[in-house]
Structure 1
Amino acid sequence: MEISGIVSAIVIGIVIGVLGRLALPGRQRIGILPTVLVGVVAAFLGSAIAAGFGVQETNGVDWIEWLIQIGLAALGVSLLDRGRGRRVRR
């Protein structure tokens, strides 16, 4: 992957993280930085999964790849949110 691909994956990851957070109902107890990091990781993993299924490169918008990435981001945000809820604050 070239540097331009990495930079675009990070920018797309920011969008993916926000969309993944918006896909969840209710309020999440995590900040914007963890949301963005989850989005970046989801973007990379989603691209790899889409490539594994052979749907990474399609004509037009890669809707299947986007759905995989958003689903992974929503899962990641949900897991982080649940992990935060278990901590006892004093």
Structure 2
Amino acid sequence: MDRSILGWLLIGLVAGVLGKLIMPGKDPGGFVVTILIGVAGAFLAGFIAKSMHVALVGGWENYAAATGGAVIVLALYRLIVTRRNR
């Protein structure tokens, strides 16, 4: 995947949408929040992979890692928003 801003947005969009499909539910936010969650998940996955000395070289590996990161970020987002709304 290209390392440009457009590439990060594309992988973020796909990872965010897949993350929401894996963890369905009512979440505040729409299209932009989905992209931001996906991009944050991609950054998280990249950071974890780099710290573990794992090279994500294939296209599907990047998307799978970013989706896993998006699921983690979405779970944290829901935890924070739920506690704040109590």
User: If the length of structure 2 is used for normalisation, what is the TM-score?
Assistant: 0.72
Equivalence for 2:40: 41
Residue 22 of structure 1: how far off its partner (Å): 0.9
Equivalence for 1:57: 57
> What's the RMSD between the two structures over aligned residues?
2.4
**Alignment of 1:22 onto 2:25:** no
Cα distance in 2 between the residues matched to 1:49 and 1:17: 18
Equivalence for 2:4: 5
Shift of the 87–15 alpha-carbon distance from structure 1 to 2, 3 Å rule, reads same
Partner letter of residue 6 of structure 1? Answer: I
Residue 63 of structure 1: how far off its partner (Å): 2.5
User: If the length of structure 1 is used for normalisation, what is the TM-score?
Assistant: 0.69
- Where does structure 1 lack aligned partners over 5 or more consecutive residues? none
Cα distance in 1 between the residues matched to 2:67 and 2:76: 14
**Alignment of 1:86 onto 2:70:** no
Percent of aligned pairs with the same amino acid:
32
- The number of aligned residues is 82
Residue 77 of structure 1: how far off its partner (Å): 0.9
Highest Rg: 1 or 2?
1
Residue 21 of structure 1: how far off its partner (Å): 1.2
**Alignment of 1:69 onto 2:66:** yes
- Where does structure 2 lack aligned partners over 5 or more consecutive residues? none
